[in-house]
Amino acid sequence: MCNVCLSRRGLFAVGMGAVAAASIASAQAQPARSAETPDAALARLMEGNARYVSGQLKERDFSANRAARTQGQAPFAAILGCADSRVAPELAFDQAPGELFIVRVAGNFVTPEGLGSLEFGAAVLGTKVIMVLGHTSCGAVNATVDALQKGNTLPGHIAGLVTAMKPGIEPIMKTTGPDLQQRAVVANVQANVRRLQTEKPILSEMVAAGKLRIVGAYYDLPTGKVIMV
Ligand SMILES: [Zn+2]
């Protein structure tokens, strides 16, 4: 069981509030990087992506610091990304274990559990930036566009993806322009960024206090480049 799993269970089991969460933070988070700002965290992400795109990844020994990581974690950024097997955030941003706090679901949209995870990452572990990361040729986005155009229903629980993504994508279905599917990718990212920015009480307050930035981007499959939207 991971630290987060144990802590979340603890939070719910005994009804802990912010004070208790802070005590968990002190027990879990490593002291390093406390001075990092949201802008610096975002720059660090994008610098990592530039290394990835140019094929100049940092050499890493993944076994190094394994034992030290049992003492806690202090990821500097959180990613809300798609489950797509072709978009791996640690690789795309050239980051080591312990650097990124990642929530993934097909279509990279906010779920209650994902929101709780991102709140935990920001308020307890100290992530300074949350990036909603879509990608080109997203099957979940394409399926939603298709369902909205044809009015069809997808089987099983896959239909739930469409239901969840519909509010963010539906408005651009009424607009004209090239590449509807890619415009839907961007619209979906932007809708989920807006949602996270306004979520009370944790995320919106951290954003207002300048402790957190919530941004949107998409990963371009052919190049590997992450493009802000
Ligand atoms: Zn996708």
CA of 10 to the centre of ligand 1 (A): 32
Dig out the tokens for 88 from the structure: 């791996």
Summarize pLDDT for 121-139 with one digit per residue, the tens: 999 999 999 999 999 999 9
CA of 190 to the centre of ligand 1 (A): 15
Summarize pLDDT for 140-172 with one digit per residue, the tens: 999 999 999 999 999 999 999 999 999 999 999
Is the distance from CB of 100 to CB of 77 less than 8 angstroms? Answer: yes
CA of 141 to the centre of ligand 1 (A): 7
In CATH, 33-228 is 3.40.50.2300: no
Q: Which residue has the tokens 């369902």?
A: 147
CA of 137 to the centre of ligand 1 (A): 7
CA of 138 to the centre of ligand 1 (A): 4
The average pLDDT across 59-83 equals 92
CA of 84 to the centre of ligand 1 (A): 5
The average pLDDT across 107-126 equals 98
At 188, is the pLDDT very low, low, confident or very high (cuts 50, 70, 90)? very high
pLDDT of amino acid 32? 47
Element at 13 (helix H, strand E): helix 3-14
pTM over 0.75: yes
